[in-house]
Amino acid sequence: MQDRPTAAELLDAMAGELYAEVREWVPHERRFRVLVLANLCAVIARELRAGDEASGRDLELFSALSGSPADDVREAATALAASIRHGDLDARLSEAISGLREHVTRKLDVARPGYR
């Protein structure tokens, strides 16, 4: 166990300071890069708070769609991507698209909440 602040809380602190203060110290034409860093801290904080549940649901979804069970979510994503490319899911493509909307929603909830 690490002491408080948690990793996510530390990232919140970093994001806040980068956004509110460090940005002002940087020449105008380079401030965008500070915003990128502040935003990344916020994204990682959300990712840490979200935990592993989203990846677990992606693993289930990918395995169900491709019909090939896997232990690892990246392995399952690779298998599904290949099945789609080869046309194995053509008859169920709209089902796959609906399922993948949920996968993309899970990514957006971390990376860009409110985008939808």
Partner 1 sequence: MTQPTEDALAVGIRELIAQAEGSDPGAVALSTIPGGASRETFLAEAGDRRWVVRRDPPGAPDSFAPLEIEFRVVQAAAAAGVPVPRPLAFESADGRLESAGFVMDHVAGTSVAPRVLRRDDLAAARRALPAQLGEALARIHSIDAREIQGVAATDSDPPLAACELWETTLDEIGEPLPAVEAGLRWLRLHPPPPATRECLVHGDFRLGNLIVAESGLAAVIDWELCHSGDPAEDIGWLCVRSWRFGNDDREVAGVGSLADLLDAYEKAGGERPSPERIRWWEAMGNVKWAVICARQAHDHLTGVRPSAELASLGRRICEPEWDLLELLPAASSASRPGAAGSEEGRLS
Binding mask 31-60 for partner 1 (x = CB under 8 A): --x--xx-xx--x-----------------
Q: Is 112 in the site for partner 1 (CB under 8 A)?
A: yes
- Measured from the CB atom, the residue of 2 and 87 that comes closer to partner 1 is 87
Q: Determine the angle formed by the axes of helices 73-85 and 53-66, rounding to 10 degrees.
A: 30
Q: With contact defined as beta carbons under 8 Å apart, do 72 and 86 qualify?
A: no
Residue recorded with tokens 């166990």: 1
Closer residue to partner 1 (CB): 8 or 40: 40
15 Cβ contact partners less than 8 Å away, ≥ 6 residues apart:
38, 39, 41, 42, 45
**Shortest CB 104 distance to partner 1, Å:** 5
Q: Which residues bind partner 1 (CB under 8 A)?
A: 29, 33, 36-37, 39-40, 43, 62, 65, 74, 77-78, 80-81, 84-85, 87, 89-90, 93-98, 100-101, 103-105, 107-108, 110-112, 115-116
